[in-house]
Amino acid sequence: MKFALSAQGLAPFLLVCAAALAVFYFYLYRREARQAHHLTFGQQIGLWALRALVALMVLVALAKPTITQTVTTERTPVVALLVDDSDSMSFPASTRDPLLADSTAARRTRFDSSRQAVRMLTTELAKNHNVQVFHFSAAPERVKSVPQYEGTAVPDELKGDLLEAIKPHGDYSNIGDGIIGTLDRLTGDKVSGVVVLTDGRQTGGAGLAAAARAAGERGVRVDAVVLGSPHELSDLRINPPINVPSDASLGDVLTFHVSVTNEVDDRLATTVDLYEKNADKPDEPFEKIPEATRELKGADELTRGERDIEIPMIPLIEGNRRFRIVVHGDKRELDWADYEALAGKDKGNGMLLPTLDRACNNVAEVTIRVIKRTLRVLLICGEPSREYLYMVPALMRDPIVQMSTWLQAADIDYTQQGNENIERLPSTLDEWSLYDVCILMDVDPNGLTVQQMGGLEHMVAKGGGLMIVAGRNQGLAKLIQVHSNPVRGLLPVEVDKNVHPDLDMHFEKPFKAERTPEGARHPLMAISTYEPTNDAVWATFPELYWHHPVLRKKPKAIVLMKKEGEDDGRGDILMAIQRYGEGAVFFSAIDSLWLWRYPHESYDYDRFWTRAIRHLGEARLTGTQQQVSIGTDRVSYPPGEDVGITLRILDPALWQQLQDQVIYVTVTGPSEDYKVRMTRDASGAQNFRGKYRTRRLGKMEIRSRQSAPDADSEAKPLFDVKTEFTVAMQSLERLKTSAYPNAMADLVQPAGGEIYFAERPVLAKGEKEFPYKDMAELSKLPSLIPADPQKVPREFTTHLWDGWTFLTLFLVLAAAEWSLRKWWGLL
């Protein structure tokens, strides 16, 4: 209880009033003194006492005295349970989720886990708290308010499903909005804690840091129960598109590049099968191609995530062929039933979730036109050197090579070797244009006319390939002296025209050859697609004794191989390549590659030459398409998102040729054309990169078409490649289907809470792991949330002067004083 004067600031005024009353009463006493002599002393004292009391009451009334009394009451604290009911909560829960240990396969969604968690937490929390259950996708909505209960008997209302009326169907997971909204709804209550039950995938709304700040300002502890698996939905799928050329050569190897994603297990053994049928007869059944079956087992098992798989096969039937690629399903897959149905088997025991799109994605089909096409190669050789004897069968083994040889030293009536025997060299431009690649192997320049060299140069400029293999018989100096004009331009290297092979010299000192860094990356030198194997293969390259002297490389040429160590004065370039017009020229200063027939017989030797020939003839064979590819980082985008465009230049020589060029790609949609300027990849890779922000819905085409720097307007472009992507509205809920507990760290860490998760989380590279609590410890969470009651103090103030008692007393005293004076005749 507390006494106080409300009019403390009026003290001077009260003193003035008191002085005025004293003066007044002194005046009154003097005036009455003349008439009050008949009064007794007692009467006078009584009268003055009355007057003093009245004056005192006046002063008290002016001072406004009060009495304040404080009373404190206690209230039960509140805990809010926020249940995420977005669409992604309908995805499967973790297989290790202890909350669902007794659940049937049909009730193992993340939301089912939420139901169990809510029931368990509410049962425990309601012993000491009022529990408010909210669900949210964006703004929170109260589902249930459970008051504190006493005793050990659980109320009936907690035995049922508190979330019975809720279905996970929201389009968003705005966790920050849910928390902030809930705290606003509970203003006035003491909120001891907020427990969020979610999969951790926030798709929008207020940030989690902002929600953590809001909770921190109110001293609210926030805990997160993250439901689901750290991996994407259990699925094994083929990711479109299948990377394969639209046209294939009959009898040649056709390789399907298939991107397969394994989200079933950390390691998964499976099989990829290839089927084919006539594309023009839809009713015809597919037939399996046994030799193309790819067993992915043992060390070749699929690890979790995406992997590119190459499936080579040899098309043997001409025409439009429909190919079906099947990656064998796994019973743990969501689309297992569809896969089984497709395979004509009984349904498996896989979980069926009606809300998911379960179309089988283990199968992909593509139509390819199989045509008979050849790479016409003309080998012109001066003398039958050992390189010639080994190279001829090596090239003729290639199923697409149609080879003609012209051995200059042969008898005049000699039947030249090759798949196609020729009786003379081509002479006109038209005859030369029939060939795709020409090999000049230590040729006698006098055996070639000026017109023939002109035809050869024209063939290369129009996309053909030329291979110049230097030898000791003739040498390049003689070739340059006789055919200076075309040869100087074609050669990727500078050669001294006055230095002829020293025939008297003996070459007994071996030297080693090594690939240059550019050569190591060059596709022509890729004997194996697996880099360590490729390096090991090149480590078996033999020591050599002779090479043709070379001065230097041309500015835009690429040196592929050189002598190991320092230049001995004879030039150290052994192999080089350069673009020439639309074609390419390869130069070899060595004529004893046949020494590579050991230690693996002709395996690597043959592959090197066939690879070189195909590389040079690729422009003719496929229109340069295989040297350039264009792609996007995904195949489908929502509006407003950036599309990452990558233009890969597979041919380093072409990359070199484009070094001063400005590259654009054109994005064409239903109602717009947009040019994107491409920039060189900062990492040094042979890529141009660009970005395009999606604006309109629909199918978009990206095209890049580039002409040679000095080409006329009618010239065939160096490359013309295109690809497609789609812009469509997409549910953000399905972009990432894995649970992401680490995202909750920003929320719970400032608010002093914990994250509960059933598995070990998968972290991104460089991401720091937050210390998680195992889901099995969730039952301990209620004991960690403060249960202190809410203390509410209340003050009661009594105004002593302000009441009927005081007024009555005042009036009685004033009236008594006046009446006595009247009675005693003082008035």
Partner 1 sequence: MSNRMLAMALAVLALSVAALGWVIVPAAVGDDAPAAEPDNRPAVAPTTQPDSEAQAQRLLAMRERQQGPLHPGKDPAFLVMPRQGDRSDLPAQLLNLQVPDLNAPEGSTRTTSPREMADKALAYLARTQDPDGGWSDPEYPGNTGVTALACLAFMADGSRPRIGPYGRQIDRGMEFILKNVQTNGVISGKGANKLGPAYEHAYSTLALLFAYGDMPWRPQTRDVIAKSVQAIARSQKLDGGWRYQFSREGFSDMSVTANMLWVLRTAKKCGFTVNAESIKKGVDFVVSCAMPDGKHFRYRYHGIMAASEGLTGTGIIALVNQGRIDHPMIPKTRDQIRYEYTRYTIDDLKERRYYVYGCFYAALAMYMCGDEYWQPWYHKAANVLAHIQRKDGEFADQSDNTAYATAMAAMVLLAPRGYLPIFER
Binders of partner 1 in range 565-624 (CB under 8 A): 592, 594-595, 597-604, 606-607
CA dihedral 160, 177, 202, 135 (to 10 degrees): 10
What is the torsion angle, in degrees rounded to the nearest 10, for the CA atoms of residue 528, residue 532, residue 534 and residue 538?
-160
**Smallest distance from partner 1 to CB 266, Å:** 18
Task: State the alpha helices, DSSP H only, in 288-409.
Answer: 336-342, 386-396
Question: 145, 540, 783, 808: which one contacts partner 1 (CB under 8 A)?
Answer: 540
Please report, as residue ranges, which positions from 723 to 742 form the binding site for partner 1 (by CB under 8 A): none
Residue 418 vs 753, nearer CB to partner 1: 418
- Segment interacting with partner 1 (CB under 8 A) among 26-34, 138-146, 457-465, 539-547: 539-547
Q: Which is nearer to partner 1, 627 or 737 (CB)?
A: 627
The yes or no reply on residue 343 touching partner 1 (CB under 8 A) is no
Contact at 8 Å (CB) between 649 and 655? yes
Q: How far is the CB of 497 from partner 1 (least distance, A)?
A: 18
13-72 binders of partner 1 (CB under 8 A): none
Handedness of CA 324, 327, 328, 330 (dihedral sign): negative
Q: Provide the minimum distance between the beta carbon of 324 and partner 1 in the complex, in angstroms, as a whole number.
A: 19
Map tokens 């090579």 to a residue.
401
The C-alpha atoms of residue 61 and residue 82 are separated, in whole angstroms, by 57
CB 516, min distance to partner 1, A: 20
- In one-letter notation, the amino acid at residue 150 is E
The reply to whether 542 sits near partner 1 by the rule CB under 8 A is: yes
Residue 137 vs 404, nearer CB to partner 1? 404
Backbone angles phi, psi at 92, to 5 degrees: -65, 145
Strands (E), 329-386: 363-371, 375-381
Give least dist CB 222 to partner 1, A: 48
Counting beta carbons within 10 angstroms of the beta carbon of residue 87, is it exposed (0 to 12), middle (13 to 18) or buried (19 or more)? buried
- With vertex at residue 518, the alpha carbon angle to CA 516 and CA 521, rounded to the nearest 5 degrees, is 110
Which residue number, 76 or 602, has a Cβ lying nearer to partner 1?
Answer: 602
Tell me how far, at minimum, the Cβ of 374 lies from partner 1, in Å.
12
DSSP reduced 3-state for 281: coil
Total binding residues toward partner 1, as defined by CB under 8 A: 77
Among 134, 323, 336, 546, binds partner 1 (CB under 8 A): 546
**How near is the Cβ of 415 to partner 1 at its closest, in Å?**
5
CB of 470 to partner 1, least distance (A): 13
- Scan residues 214-253 and list those touching partner 1 (CB under 8 A): 251, 253
Residue nearer to partner 1 on the CB measure, 599 or 771: 599
Stretch that binds partner 1, among 31-39, 126-134, 269-277, 543-551 (CB under 8 A): 543-551
- Closer of 388 and 772 to partner 1 (Cβ): 388
Residue nearer to partner 1 on the CB measure, 417 or 661: 417
Burial class, 138, CB count within 10 angstroms (exposed 0-12 / middle 13-18 / buried 19+): middle
Find the binder of partner 1 among 5, 309, 499, 697 (CB under 8 A): 309
**317 makes contact with partner 1 (CB under 8 A):** no
Amino acid found at 483: H
Segment (H or E) for 560: strand 558-563
Which of 109, 473 has the CB closer to partner 1?
A: 473
DSSP string covering 408-449: TTS-TT----BSS--SS---SHHHHHT-SEEEEES--GGGS-
Instruction: Name the 3-class secondary structure at 529.
Output: coil
Which 474-533 residues touch partner 1, going by CB under 8 A?
474, 501, 503-508, 526-530, 532-533
**Cβ atoms 516, 561 nearer than 8 A:** yes
Would you say 6 or 416 has its CB closer to partner 1? 416
670, β-bridge pairs: none
Where in 425-484 is the site for partner 1 (CB under 8 A)? 472-474
Query: Who's near 141: CB < 8 A, 6+ residues apart?
Result: 134, 135
Query: Is the alpha carbon torsion for 668, 673, 677, 682 positive or negative?
Result: negative
Residue 476 beta carbon to partner 1: minimum distance, rounded to whole angstroms: 14
- Strands 319-327 vs 302-313: parallel, antiparallel or unpaired: unpaired
Considering only 407, 559, 585, 676, the residue that binds partner 1 (CB under 8 A) is: 407
Assess 158 for contact with partner 1 (CB under 8 A).
no
Nearest approach in angstroms of CB 375 to partner 1 is 15
Pick one of 44, 66, 103, 419: the residue that binds partner 1 (CB under 8 A): 419
Strands, sheet with 191-198, edge to edge from the N-terminal-most edge strand = 140-146, 130-136, 78-84, 191-198, 221-226, 755-757, 773-774
Nearest Cα neighbor of 63 from 6, 139, 3 is 6
Shortest separation between residue 268's beta carbon and partner 1, angstroms: 15
Q: How far is the CB of 509 from partner 1 (least distance, A)?
A: 10
CB 770 within 8 A of CB 742: yes
Please say whether the beta carbons of 290 and 276 come within 8 A.
no
> Which residue, 610 or 656, has its beta carbon nearer to partner 1?
610
CB of 268 or CB of 356, closer to partner 1: 268
Cβ at position 589, least distance to partner 1 in Å: 14
Nearer to partner 1, 283 or 423 (CB): 423
CA atoms within 13 A on the CB side of 9: 0
Closer residue to partner 1 (CB): 24 or 603: 603
Residue 423 touching partner 1 (CB under 8 A): no
Residue 489 near residue 515 (C-beta atoms within 8 A): no
- If one asks whether residue 305 binds partner 1 (CB under 8 A), the answer comes out as no
* Choice between 118 and 560, CB closer to partner 1: 560
Verify binding: residue 415, partner 1, rule CB under 8 A.
yes
| Minimum CB distance to partner 1 smaller for 243 or for 661 | 243
User: Whole-angstrom Cα distance, residue 194 to residue 772?
Assistant: 17
**Do the beta carbons of residue 657 and residue 708 sit within 8 Å?**
yes
Q: Least distance from C-beta 725 to partner 1, angstroms?
A: 26
Site for partner 1 contains 721 (CB under 8 A): no
**Contacts with partner 1 in 370-399 (CB under 8 A)?**
383-386, 388-390, 393, 396-397, 399
Confirm or reject binding of residue 792 to partner 1 (CB under 8 A): no
Q: Are 236 and 270 in contact (CB under 8 A)?
A: yes
Other C-beta atoms closer than 10 Å to the C-beta of 516 total 19
797 belongs to the binding site for partner 1 (CB under 8 A): no
